[in-house]
Structure 1
Amino acid sequence: MVATIDRDTYVGLAKLAEQAERYTDMLEYVKGAIRVSDARLSVDERSLLSVAYKNLTGNLRSSWRIVSHFEEYASAKNKAHELRLTRSSKLDIERELISICEDVLRLLSNTLIPAARPGDELVFYFKMKGDYYRYLAEFTQDAARKESALASLDAYKLAYKLALATLEATHPTRLGLALNFAVYYRDVLDSPERACHLAKHAFDEAVAVLDQMPEATYRDSLLILQLLRDDLTMWFKEIQERDALEM
């Protein structure tokens, strides 16, 4: 008889897999915890799920950018053989990325979002939905890109509306959402102005009540505020340089 693995064991295995950097196993263990129990994940369990998907897609996104750079070089130098190889490699990476993004989006839409509690949990999942549609929009083309971009925007808008209504201005989930939503405007819609507007609004609101920030989330919130500040500096510079060229 095969012993049944309970939720706590699955979570423990997921944490071990994280330490071993075995993110595919880590993801399967979190999914196992959902299967044997329910879809309402604790903060730690949501973090495990997010880390697993983020590492799986992060490596592929990095690989895609590197291969795309070599593709541009081979095209510019008219190196037909190298161009065929790089394009084939890029397509393989894109297929893997699509598979993982579609997997997390199914899990969110079919299982996690319907079971989520209002507040931090629901905002977290809609933020994830926006993130993974954004990843698809990064490399897909034409109608597929438009569809992913619109789905990402819808998810981010809903997440942000819920965050404003239920989470404190310094809450790390709300700040992380603002950061990623601003990146969407900058990278997908090519609008650093809207990115700056959203990021500055979130930054200013949080800084205004910084003295009220809970100690438990202080470190996480401060880190995201620093990232918002860094991106604002970079995006403002982009706008100034672009405007100078247009004069």
Structure 2
Amino acid sequence: MSPKVDVSLSRLDTVYLARVAEQAERWHDVIAQIKSLMTTGDAQLTTEERNLLSIAYKNLTGNSRNSWRAIDNLEKRPGTSQQHRALMRVQKERIKRDLDETCKDVVAVMEQRLIPAANDGEEVVFYCKMKGDYCRYLAEFSRDKEREHYSKTALEAYKTAYKHASVTLPPTHPTKLGLALNFAVYYHDICDSPERACYLAKHAFDEAVAAATKATVPDQVAIEDSLMILQLLRDDMILWSGEIS
């Protein structure tokens, strides 16, 4: 019989394995590695660790959301038989179950581990935004009381994140701009309010531009991310403003 091998890993080894899993697009493995860091010590993650976790969850849910929408579009095609529509709805329900499981896992990790352990400022904003995003995804594919519940929970998370961001982060910070973008999407997609979406997006855009022009030395940290999000805010404002009667 072969001797047992000690497979206990250091934090550096665990993060390395998470990186390897990310390169292989093994998103469940990435999540498992980062989760193991929360159970062996405190729940605080480094920026790299939390980004690995965020990317993994984003890819898992992104695949499910894209699959659901693809089938939904097929279902709505003219000439599709009732039998085929019924079969498509079965597949959509399977995808929804996968999406529900992943999103609820994210929300539980945020609520039980990461938000309580987070430092004031950018960490709190990042994790509350993340909670809001995944409650928004749950609301997207839910109906009636379930949709109302997740919509309300998403709104509370976004408001908490926005409140913290307003007093702790500069207007040009990519996390604050990303929050504004996703909060605006919430108002547009979940609340069906292009007016509120445009107002929030414009406020964040104008505030960031004003702050950038007043700064004597531009902040080089994540400047490309900030510029990309500003462009997305601008594009969405143009698109949504055309929906306002």
Whole-Å separation in 2 of the counterparts to 1:233 and 1:44? 34
TM-score (norm 2): 0.94
Aligned counterpart, 1:34: 38
Tell me whether 1:179 sits opposite 2:184 in the alignment: no
Assess if the C-alpha contact under 8 Å between 2:17 and 2:33 holds in 1: yes
**Which deviates the most, 13-22 or 103-112?**
13-22
Match of 2:157 in 1: 155
Q: Could you tell me how far 1:78 is from its partner in structure 2?
A: 6.1
Identity score, percent: 52
* Distance of 1:194 and 1:3 partners within structure 2: 52
The amino acid of 2:146's aligned partner reads: A
Deviation at 1:72, TM superposition (A): 2.3
The residue number in structure 1 matching 2:236 is 231
Quote how far apart the aligned CAs of 1:85 are: 1.1
User: Does the Cα contact within 8 Å between 1:172 and 1:220 map onto a contact in 2?
Assistant: yes
Match of 2:201 among 196, 199, 212: 199
In the superposition, the TM-score normalised over structure 1's length comes to: 0.93
Letter matched to residue 152 of structure 2: L
Equivalent position of 2:221 in the other structure: 216
Amino acid at match of 2:43: A
Higher helix share: 1
1:8–1:33 contact (8 Å) kept in structure 2: no
Residue 127 of structure 1, CA deviation? 0.2
SS in 2 for 1:215: coil
CA distance in 2, matches of 1:50, 1:186: 23
**C-alpha distance in structure 2 between counterparts of 1:208 and 1:78, whole Å:** 52
Residue in 1 that maps onto 2:52: 48
Counterpart Cα distance in 2 of 1:89 and 1:218: 42
Give the counterpart of 2:111 among 106, 109, 112.
109
Look up the SS of the partner of 2:222 in the other structure.
Answer: helix
The Cα RMSD (Å) is 1.2
- Unaligned stretches of 5+ residues in structure 2: none
Contact 1:170 1:210 in 2 (8 A): yes
Deviation of 1:179 after TM superposition, in Å, equals 0.2
Cα distance in structure 1, aligned partners of 2:8 and 2:173: 38
Deviation at 1:83, TM superposition (A): 1.5
Residue equivalent to 1:64: 68
